[in-house]
Amino acid sequence: MKFKLLISLLVFSFVWACYQREERFIFFLHNRFLEEHGLSEAHPVYGRMEYLEIIKAFKDEGFKVISEKRKGNVNARDYAQKINQQIDSLLQLGIEPNKITVIGTSKGGYIAQYVSTFAKNPDLNFVFIACYMDGDVEQIPEINYCGNVLTIYEKTDTFGVTALERKLNSSCDIKHFKEIELNTGLQHGFLFKPMKLWIEPSVAWANGHYNNH
């Protein structure tokens, strides 16, 4: 009886491990505003940051979402190291890197860029949203894109510029790189809501559909 139980447990563990390896994971990193304000507090211009709704939008697409509400103006580099440790844990469990996507908005996008820099894994997926400005290459020279990179920015936003210069200055071999320019007229506020215009291409990227949208 004990032998049969042991076999059953081993089979269950193997099946569960295989199931986990087939899952896709999203690390979602929110913007700066939410670090120092509550979930119900509204930005004076852009309104409430719909953090939980954004998480739900990704979960509804079948992803395992790893995210937390950061507190107190965290250091982007230090926090990126923490995310890298979590990614390493998934990789050690046998999760393939192309099934892991890091999505960051605004400051969260800068953290995601550091994750890309530190991980140095060309098979991880990244979506950088509203997190690049002219002059970033000179002002933050240590960032080095690595992975499959999608950037999304809004034409009316201060951070609404192409990051192609950063890509061209990165030493890693980037297999897939794509940029999407939105024109909602919402300035930086477009990332406060789970708008299909950025959620859908992010989902497609996380699913490995690099040529969609």
Q: Residue 15: is its pLDDT beyond 50?
A: no
Mean pLDDT along residues 205-209: 97
- Model confidence band, residue 213 (pLDDT cutoffs 50, 70, 90): low
Q: What is the CA radius of gyration of the chain?
A: 18
Give the residue, 130 or 6, on which the prediction is more confident.
Answer: 130
Length of the chain: 213
**Percent of the chain at pLDDT exceeding 90:** 86
User: Helix axis angle, 107-119 relative to 76-92, nearest 10°?
Assistant: 50
**Phi-psi category of residue 154: left, alpha or beta, with phi > 0 → left and psi -120 to 50 → alpha:** beta
What is the DSSP annotation of 10-59?
Answer: HHHHHHHHHHHHH--EEEEE--SGGGSS-TT-EETTTEE--HHHHHHHHH
Q: Residue 16: is its pLDDT beyond 70?
A: no
Q: Residue 178: is its pLDDT beyond 80?
A: yes
Q: Residue 182: is its pLDDT beyond 50?
A: yes
What is d(CA 49, CA 33) in angstroms, rounded to the nearest whole number? 8
What is d(CA 34, CA 50) in angstroms, rounded to the nearest whole number? 10
Q: What is the pTM of this model?
A: 0.90
Written as one letter, the residue type at 141 is P
Q: Residue 9: is its pLDDT beyond 70?
A: no
Tell me: the pLDDT tens digits for 140-169? 999 999 999 999 999 999 998 999 999 999
Tokens of 123: 């098979």
What is d(CA 4, CA 25) in angstroms, rounded to the nearest whole number? 34
Mean pLDDT along residues 65-88: 96
Place of tokens 């509804």: 60
The predicted structure's pLDDT at residue 20: 57
CB 165 within 8 A of CB 137: yes
List 66's β-bridge partners, or say none. 27
